[in-house]
Amino acid sequence: MGIQEVKRGGAAPEYPNTRKSGQAEGFHERLQQNMKYRGQEKEEVAGTEAQTGKVQEKSGLGRIGAGLGIRVNSTALTEALQTVEVKHMSYEESDNVRIAVTEGYTLKGKIQEAEAQVYVEAKYEDGRMEAYQVDTKKVSEETEHAIERFALETIGGLS
């Protein structure tokens, strides 16, 4: 009494989740394959975005970047259009307001004291705000640029 004998003899127990030889390699292969597919997916998405950008450029919005239709990036700035600090002007203070719900932006325009200058403030659906100073004397009436057209509209150049 007092001492319990434990036999270590007999077959080793089979555990169902024990890794067997060759399994690790299989997992490694699957992981590599997955990584490869992910890489391909990313390339496909990038390709689609590039195509979308091209379509937007062709759609008459002129030098307007990708995104919510009228976003102007640094390359889109023209001689007549300069980015300025956002003043957070209200609708009441504005001389012209455009609400483009289906395109995801609003524009507010105010004629400045300096001759032919229009301050334009844009607010986008993703929360970004941008402001531009437009010299309407340098804007062609045939311009396709959304901000320039809005500035002309504000100053009365377009009906």
Residues that bind another protein (CB under 8 A): 90-92, 94, 97-99, 101-102, 104, 106, 108, 123, 125-127, 129
- Would you say 80 or 119 has its CB closer to another protein? 119
Q: How far is the CB of 129 from another protein (least distance, A)?
A: 8
Q: Which of 120, 41, 113 is nearest to 80 (CA)?
A: 120
Contacts of 134 (CB under 8 A, 6+ apart): 80, 81, 82, 117, 118, 119, 120, 147, 148, 151
- Would you say 10 or 127 has its CB closer to another protein? 127
Q: How far is the CB of 104 from another protein (least distance, A)?
A: 6
Would you list the DSSP string of 140-158?
Answer: -TT---HHHHHHHHHHTS-
- Would you say 15 or 91 has its CB closer to another protein? 91
